[in-house]
Amino acid sequence: MLAMDSIQNVDQLNLKLESTLQELPVWTIQIEIDHPGNELAMLFEEDPLLPGIILTKDKKYVGMISRRLFFEQMSRPYGLGLFAGRPVEYLYNFLQPKTFIYAEDTPIVEATQIALGRSHKQVYEPLVITDQSYQYGLLDFHQLLLANSQIHVLTLNRLQKETEKARIAKADFRDLQHNYSRLLQNDKMIALGQLVAGIAHEINNPMNFIYGNLNYAVEYVQDILYILENYKQELSYADAISEAKEKGIEIEFILEDLPKLLSSMKVGATRVNEIVLSLRNFSRLDQAEIKFVDIHEGIENTLIILKHSLKARPERVEIELIKEYDKLPLIKCYAGQLNQVFMNILVNAIDALSESDNLILKTRKNLQIRIRTEITNDHYVIVRIADNGSGISEEVQKRLFDPFFTTKAVGKGTGLGLSISYQIVVEKHGGELYCISTPGEGSEFIIKIPVVSNHSDEIQQTSKFMDEFDSK
């Protein structure tokens, strides 16, 4: 506790919002309770600011008499005569003042609230402060109010600063949100560019096949039409064929090759149709809402789009795709978003197997991506996508799903793919997404999705679906 003679005003103190009573100056003037009452008057007259006097017996705390109570009693008729010459104990027992004792570690704000809650007769009485060694001092109520006012000013200043910080933080957050949106859009455009390049590559082959055969088909049809025109002029079939041969038309070859050519063109057109259908199913433009869908269909549509990325390159052998599909029920999900998760993880797996400067991959005789699906007893569908690449270090694994974290070269990724995938699986579908990897051996991403979310009506649907599934 600070003695009052060491400091005269709380304005000289460096208070904080959490300051306690021990930081305030207190009066420590004491008198033994067996001393005559006129000694109290002398002490009060010596210091007009003294708020009260601590009473002791054998140097142990007994109580306190305030200046207000003492002079109020002394001013009454016969008060001075009755108590001036008698021990202070008589006056104390007569007044029986109510004393409020506070621990020195009580916060100033809390002590002020308690003090103001006293009765109107007690509200201006000094407070008795005690420390851990049971030393006592008196705190003037007005000094407490001044300290509380100073803290109030500090609170207002702090509030203004925090308000300004909040304003700046809000502005920074808007900027961050704007930049995040730009990066997210950039990531989408990069993914879209890769997707378009892959689709263009996939469509190019069957389209070239169709286009290359189209000229021959036109020639064959024109030759056949020429023969038919001659035949219409009442020539015999033999004469029509003979005249056609004179013009270099080999009808036997045309009759043999045209069906093959048309069949090949049909195969090419079918392939283009499959790619377009897979792209439509992948994006699920017609199924933006949550619906029951076939997980395997989503995986297959994604693989069709990425098929060109699996093929051999000058710097890399072909990536072998191994599929181990379990019998799965339909699951309730946002199909387009879940397909995006498959795309992100599969693209990362392909990139991991395409590191041309990786010594581990150069020693691999074959590169593989393995996709496994299963259904658990607690009605969860699990999709495992594993590669036999160089693996991921433990330090990198801890940050895999952090926004903006990427191990790719500058310009090849924004670090949002896995972060977005995590949000889709965990936050959007209530599932789990995590990675298991051993450096030098490969990585496995595990996607765990509930068949439906945990709403009561959906649980009933789950049971119905699972019952139908088990009966098949």
- pLDDT single digits (tens) 340-349: 899 889 988 9
Report d(CA 186, CA 51) in Å as an integer: 73
Q: Kindly report the pTM of this predicted structure.
A: 0.48
Torsion of CA 157, 163, 169, 175, to 10 degrees: -130
Task: Answer yes or no: is pLDDT of 177 > 80.
Answer: no
Q: Which residue has the higher pLDDT, 244 or 39?
A: 39
- Strands of the 319-324 sheet, one edge to the other: 319-324, 367-375, 380-387, 442-450, 432-438
Side-chain half-sphere CA neighbours of 305 within 13 A: 27
At 440 the pLDDT is: 83
- pLDDT single digits (tens) 227-277: 777 767 766 767 777 777 777 777 788 888 888 888 888 877 887 777 777
User: How many residues are listed for the chain in this entry?
Assistant: 472
With a pLDDT cut of 70, the percent of the chain lying above it is 81
Report d(CA 171, CA 215) in Å as an integer: 63
List of E strands, 119-274: 127-130, 136-139
Report d(CA 400, CA 408) in Å as an integer: 12
The answer to whether the CB of 294 falls within 8 A of the CB of 330 is yes
Reported as a pLDDT band with limits 50, 70 and 90, residue 6 is: very low
Closest CA to 92 of 120, 66, 58, 118: 66
Lowest mean pLDDT among 127-141, 142-156, 390-404: 390-404
Torsion of CA 195, 199, 200, 202, to 10 degrees: 140
Instruction: Summarize the confidence of residues 328-352 as an average pLDDT.
Output: 88
Instruction: Summarize the confidence of residues 381-410 as an average pLDDT.
Output: 80
At 102 the pLDDT is: 92
CA 252 to chain centre: 71
At 448 the pLDDT is: 94
Report d(CA 429, CA 407) in Å as an integer: 27
CA quadruple 180, 186, 190, 196: dihedral sign: positive
The answer to whether the CB of 338 falls within 8 A of the CB of 298 is yes
CA 449 to chain centre: 19
- Strands of the 30-32 sheet, one edge to the other: 30-32, 52-57, 60-66
Report d(CA 438, CA 279) in Å as an integer: 34
Q: What type of residue sits at position 136?
A: Y
Report d(CA 336, CA 286) in Å as an integer: 10
Alpha-carbon distance values, 463 to 88, 233, 288, 377 (Å): 86, 75, 25, 12
Reported as a pLDDT band with limits 50, 70 and 90, residue 129 is: very high
Cβ partners under 8 Å of residue 26, min gap 6: 1, 2, 3, 4, 129, 137, 138, 139
What value does the mean pLDDT of the chain take? Answer: 80
User: b/e string for 317-349 if b means 16 or more Cβ within 10 A?
Assistant: eebeeeeeeeebbbbbbbbbbbbbbbbbbbbbb
Report d(CA 73, CA 84) in Å as an integer: 11
User: b/e string for 50-87 if b means 16 or more Cβ within 10 A?
Assistant: bbbbbbbeeeebbbbbbbebbeebbeeeebeebbeeeb
- pLDDT single digits (tens) 193-216: 666 666 676 677 777 778 778 888
Alpha-carbon distance values, 84 to 41, 55, 73 (Å): 8, 16, 11
At 413 the pLDDT is: 53
At 460 the pLDDT is: 44
Reported as a pLDDT band with limits 50, 70 and 90, residue 1 is: low
Q: What SS3 state is found at 428?
A: helix
Alpha helix positions (H), 84-140: 88-95, 108-116
At 196 the pLDDT is: 67
Reported as a pLDDT band with limits 50, 70 and 90, residue 321 is: very high
Strand partners, 367: 319
What are the backbone angles phi and psi of residue 101, rounded to the nearest 5°?
-110, 130
Q: What SS3 state is found at 319?
A: strand
